Amino acid sequence: MRSIWNGAISFGLVSIPIKLVNATESHSISFRQIHLEDGGRVRYRKVCELDGEELSGAEIGKGYEEADGSIIPITDEDLAQLPISTAKTIEIVSFVPADEIDPLQMDAAYYLAANGATAAKPYTLLREALKRSRRVAIAKFALRGRERLGMLRVVDDVIAMHGLLWPDEIRQPEGVAPESSVTVRDAELDLADALMATLGEVEMSSLKDEYREAVEAMIEAKSGGAFEPPSEAEVQPAGGKVIDLMAALEKSVQAAKASREGTQQEEAEVTPMRRARKTAPAAPKAVGGKKSTASGSQSTTAKARKSTSKKSTAKASEPKASATKSTAKTAAAKKTAAAKKTASRKRSSA
């Protein structure tokens, strides 16, 4: 990668020669301005206002315009001779926890490459010190005609630097938050949490610019003469009033589940319940229940049989008791009759 700036990192009394390399690149598609009537390209020409002549890049310099419109020429030599220590140095001023840096301050990102063999040792020392301290370095540096603020951190085995906006360049969010008082219920927060959990995490490397891909496909089709205008995609109207926030959250959770599982909304809701009922542990419970019912019915039948047997035994014993009673009565009657005969015989003999 081509370096855009050469200098050194000032780390106390340690100086680390480095090269500054862009860490990011733009993949956005750029368009040219054309004349709609004939397709001719429209170009901008740099012309001097005083004499009307077109100028080349070598003939153009810098100048500062004052309030009255007069221009003060400023050369690159003037800027290079400014008495600032950061002209060719990334000067580390402090080390702070990473969470103290407001993401709003983040600007362009760069890689810092060790410049030469002698820079390898101090470069590695600073890198390992940043790793062990779990902090980031705050530094000042000058680039493209102005002094900037930077944050140094470790990315893999490389020291990266993020350009930071100065604190006074961050605007206060006055008048941005809703002015009216709004109350959020716990149930709404619970649904919002459920939606966050359903969406889950994403691999940042899997995200892609679908708009750019669509533009590239359109350009390729047009260049091949086989372009057909696509049907208009449905766009939901934005900015409307939310009538039922709870319903919107519930639908969002359901849609996120269906999208994540690759199924329809109904399957995402019903299928897990059915699977839960058909799990292996449920089968023994059902079988056990039938067994207990069968054993219960068997014991009930046995009790009924015992009861019937007792009743039949009792009924069978009733005639025997009656016969015994009648036999006893007959014997008593016979004894009485015999006694009467004996008494009459004694009387007649007397």
pLDDT in tens, 116-126: 999 999 999 99
**Is residue 321's pLDDT more than 50?**
no
DSSP-assigned states of every residue in 144-209: TTEEEEEEEEEETTEEEEEEE--GGGSPP-TTTS-SS-----HHHHHHHHHHHHHH----GGG---
| Calpha distance 222→218 (Å, rounded) | 6
For residues 38 and 334, the model is more confident at 38
* Whole-number Å distance between alpha carbons of 122 and 135: 18
The pLDDT of residue 119:
94
The torsion of the CA quartet 7, 11, 14, 20, rounded to 10 degrees, works out to -20
The Cα 167–Cα 24 span in angstroms is: 23
Dump pLDDT digits (tens) for 325-349. Answer: 455 555 555 556 655 555 555 454 4
From residue 26, give the alpha-carbon distance in Å to each of 22, 29, 107, 263, 276.
11, 9, 14, 36, 50
The answer to which of 202-211, 227-236, 323-332 has the lowest mean pLDDT is: 323-332
Report the distance separating Cα 76 and Cα 224, nearest Å. Answer: 48
Evaluate if residue 302 carries a pLDDT over 70: no
Closest CA to 136 of 125, 126, 147: 126
Residue 204 has what pLDDT? 83
**Section 41-53 average pLDDT:** 93
Q: Which two tokens stand for residue 328?
A: 């006893």
Percent of the chain at pLDDT above 70? 71
pLDDT of residue 339: 58
Q: How many CA atoms lie within 13 A of 143 on its CB side?
A: 25
- Count of C-beta atoms within a 10 Å radius of residue 225: 6
3-state secondary structure of 235: coil
pLDDT value of residue 313:
47
Residue 249 has pLDDT above 60, yes or no: yes
- Looking at the predicted structure, is the pLDDT value of residue 4 above 70? yes
- Mean pLDDT on 5-26: 90
pLDDT score of 221: 87
Which residue did the predictor score with more confidence, 202 or 108?
108
pLDDT at 342: 56
Closest CA relative to residue 20, chosen from 121, 164, 161, 165: 161
Count Cβ neighbours within 10 Å for each residue of 101-129 and write b for 16 or more, e otherwise.
beeebeeebbbbbbbeeebeebbeebbee
More confident residue, 92 or 218: 92
Q: Are strands 71-74 and 62-65 parallel, antiparallel or unpaired?
A: antiparallel
The position carrying tokens 């993020």 is: 162
- Can you tell me the distance from the alpha carbon of 325 to that of 317, in angstroms, rounded to the nearest whole number? 13
Res 276: pLDDT: 44
Residue-level pLDDT at 170: 92
- pLDDT, position 151: 96
Statement: residue 108 has pLDDT above 60: yes
What pLDDT, in 10s, does the model give residues 273-291? 444 444 444 444 444 444 4
CB-CB contact of 9 with 112 (8 Å): yes
Quick one: residue 151, left, alpha or beta (phi over 0 = left, psi -120 to 50 = alpha)?
Answer: beta
Query: What is the spatial distance between Cα 314 and Cα 320, in angstroms, rounded to a whole number?
Result: 10
The C-alpha atoms of residue 37 and residue 39 are separated, in whole angstroms, by 6
User: What's the pTM?
Assistant: 0.60
Percentage of residues in the chain with pLDDT exceeding 90?
Answer: 37
102, pLDDT greater than 50: yes
Least confident of 33-37, 85-89, 216-220, 253-257: 85-89
